[in-house]
């Protein structure tokens, strides 16, 4: 078996071949480098774009299938940019339904101003 280098962030996610974070459940999707300096350069580029990134380069063995042997992350992957979470889309649908049926509360009228008496 040969060793390769992978990049893991502070949440236990691995940098993937499709240039997004992968949780490690599919080792085929994890980007691997034959040389440590390539992985370090990639980590440097990633951290220059995301200053909150706390990553590390790990040396891991390859399985018989040629995939890196990585420990899957227990943390869920963040939502894709532009994708609405299911709960938010349900709430938006309920808001739309309220607009269509006229169930929206009507604002109270402002009290009339009267001139001060002297």
Which pLDDT score is estimated for 60?
Answer: 94
Separation between Cα atoms, residue 32 and residue 81, nearest integer Å: 25
Separation between Cα atoms, residue 55 and residue 40, nearest integer Å: 10
Q: How confident is the prediction for the chain on average, in pLDDT? A: 80
The answer to whether residue 86 scores a pLDDT higher than 70 is: no
Domain coordinates of the chain in residue numbers?
3-61
Q: What is the pLDDT of residues 41-80, one digit of tens each?
A: 999 999 999 999 999 999 999 999 999 999 888 888 876 6
């Amino acid at each position: 078996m040969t060793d390769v280098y992978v990049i893991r962030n502070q949440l236990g996610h691995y940098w993937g071949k499709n240039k997004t974070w992968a949780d490690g459940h599919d080792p085929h999707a994890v980007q691997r480098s034959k040389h440590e300096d390539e992985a370090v350069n990639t980590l440097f580029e990633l951290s220059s774009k995301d200053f909150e990134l706390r990553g590390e380069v790990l040396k891991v063995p390859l399985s018989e299938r040629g995939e890196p042997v990585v420990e899957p992350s227990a943390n869920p992957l963040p939502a894709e940019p532009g994708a609405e979470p299911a709960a938010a889309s349900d709430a938006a649908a309920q808001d739309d339904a309220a607009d269509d049926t006229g169930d929206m509360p009507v604002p109270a009228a402002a009290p009339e101003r009267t001139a001060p008496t002297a």
